[in-house]
Structure 1
Amino acid sequence: MSDSTPATADVVLPCLNEARALPWVLERIPPSWRAVVVDNGSTDGSADVARGLGATVVREERRGFGAACHAGLLAATAEYVCFCDCDASLDPGELPSFVAAVAGGEADLVLGRRRPTERGAWPAHARAGNRALSMLLRRRTGLRLGDLGPLRAARRQALLGLDLTDRRSGYPLQMVVRAADAGWRITERDVPYLARTGQSKVTGTWRGTFQAVRDMRAVLEERPRPAGEEVAA
C-alpha cells in the first residue's frame, strides 16, 4: 500500500455460502483496513469463518446482492468504502490504488475493469450480459465503460447521498447511473479476474444472467434526478 493511500477504508464483502473462498479473500485485505462481511443467509458457516479471520460480520436477512451491499455500506464507518465479491474471483489487494485515486481527487468512483487470467473465469453468457449492459449504460448516461464489475471504491458519505434503492442485482449499476447523473468523475482500472470458487449466484447460468440483465434494465429506465433534488436521509 502506498504512502498516499488512506488507512481508513472499509471493504464491503457481500457473502452467501463462501466459506471456502473467505480465507483467500480476507488475507488480501490491505493492512489496517477493515473487512465488513455481510452474511446474506449462508448455511455453510461463512459467518463463523469470517469472524475467526478477524472480519466484522453483519447479518442481512433480506436476500439480494444489493441488500447485502447496502447493509455493508450502512455498517461501514471509514471515509472510504470499497466493494469486492467474496468468491475469490477478484483480489481486494488491488483496492489501495482505487482509494488513492479517490483521495487524490482523480476520481469520485473507481471501477475495476475485469481482465480474465484463467480459462473459464468469465463465461460467455456473463460477458454477453455485461457487454449488453455497457451499451445500454452508454445510451443512458454517455459513459463509455468497458465493464460494470463489482470491484470499486468511493467516499462513504457521497455513496449514501446517491440514495441507492435497488436491493437485487441492479445495485452496482444503479450506483454508476446515479453517480453519472450527479456529475461524478468515474474511471476504470484493469484488474485480474480469476475463476471463482463455487458457482455464481447471479450470473452462473444463462437464466441467472437474464434475470440480472432484467433487473438492471429497470435501473436504466429510471428518470435522471434533477440537480439539487433531495434524497432520503
Structure 2
Amino acid sequence: MSVDVVLPCLDEAGALPWVLARVPAGWRPIVVDNGSTDGSAALAAELGATVVHESRRGFGAACHAGLLASDAEFVCFCDCDASLDPGLLPGMVGTVAQGAADLVLGRRRPTARGAWPAHARAGNLALSWLLRRRTGLRLRDLGPLRAARREALLGLGLSDRRSGYPLQMVVRAADAGWKVREVDVPYAPREGRSKVTGTWKGTWQAVHDMRRVLDEPVAAAGGGRA
C-alpha cells in the first residue's frame, strides 16, 4: 500500500521538523511550498520531503498541486503548522482501504485553550449546517486532516483553488455517493499565525469562498486532472 501525505506550506519553518518527523515510515511527505519566504522549502528538502512549488496563492492551489504530484494509491492531507498529527493517519487510511469509507475526515478536538479560536469555530459550525442542508451529510467539522484514494479524488474534478477546496471535496464526494466518515483527532495550538482563519475577517472570507462552493448545482462528480 502506497501513501503520500500532502502538506500545504506557507512560512512554516518552525513547525516542519515536528510535522515531517511524525509522517509514518515508508510514506512520502509532499510539501507544497506556496510562496514561503522563511526557507521552508529548503528545510523540507533537507528533511527528506518531496517539495513542490505552487506559485498561485491559495490553500486549494497548494493542496491540488500536491494531489497532482502524488502517484500513490492513497493520498492524505494535513496542515503543516503542527496543529494536527500526521501520525494519526494510518488508522484513517486503513478505514478507506477496508472499504468502510471513501473519504475520512478528522474532527478536530482542541487539546488546549486557544487551539481553535471562537471565530474559526463559529465559521466551521455555520458551514457544517449549510453542508447538511446541501448534501444531507451530518458532519461536525470540515477539518484538513483527511484520507482517500488518489484516483477517486482526481475523478471529483476539483476546481476551487482558494479556501473552498476542502469543502468542495466533501460536497462533490457526497454528490458522487461516497461514504464519508468522521473520526475524532486532537487539535493543538498551531505554530505561528493562521493565514486563513487567524482573524474574524480571514474566517469570514473563507466562509464566503466556501458558500460559493455550496451554491454549485448538484451533479454527479466527473472530470479528472484539473
What TM-score does the superposition give when structure 1 sets the normalisation length? 0.95
Are 1:168 and 2:162 matched, yes or no?
yes
Q: Deviations over 1:82-127 (max 9, x none)?
A: 0000000000000000100000010000000000001100000000
Cα deviation for residue 150 of structure 1 reads 0.2
Cα deviation for residue 232 of structure 1 reads 4.6
Letter in 2 for 1:216: M
Counterpart residue number, 1:106: 100
1:192 alignment partner, one of 186, 195, 199: 186
Counterpart-to-counterpart distance in 1, 2:17 and 2:218:
41
Trace 1:148-227 onto structure 2 (pairs within 5 A). 148-225=142-219, 227=220
Q: Deviations over 1:61-98 (max 9, x none)?
A: 00000000000000001000000000000000000001
RMSD: 0.8
Query: Does the residue aligned with 2:195 lie in a helix, a strand or coil?
Result: coil
What TM-score does the superposition give when structure 2 sets the normalisation length? 0.98
Counterpart residue number, 2:223: 231
What 5-or-longer segments of structure 1 have no aligned partner?
1-5
Is the CA contact (8 Å cut-off) linking 2:157 and 2:222 kept in structure 1? no
Cα deviation for residue 224 of structure 1 reads 1.1
Letter in 2 for 1:35: P
Cα deviation for residue 231 of structure 1 reads 1.8
Are 1:144 and 2:138 matched, yes or no?
yes
- Segments of 4+ in structure 1 off by > 3 A? none
Q: Percent identity?
A: 76
What 5-or-longer segments of structure 2 have no aligned partner?
none
CA distance 1:209–1:218, shift in 2 (3 Å): same
Count of matched residue positions in the alignment of Structure 1 and Structure 2: 225
Query: Does the residue aligned with 2:182 lie in a helix, a strand or coil?
Result: strand
Counterpart residue number, 2:68: 74
Counterpart residue number, 1:3: none
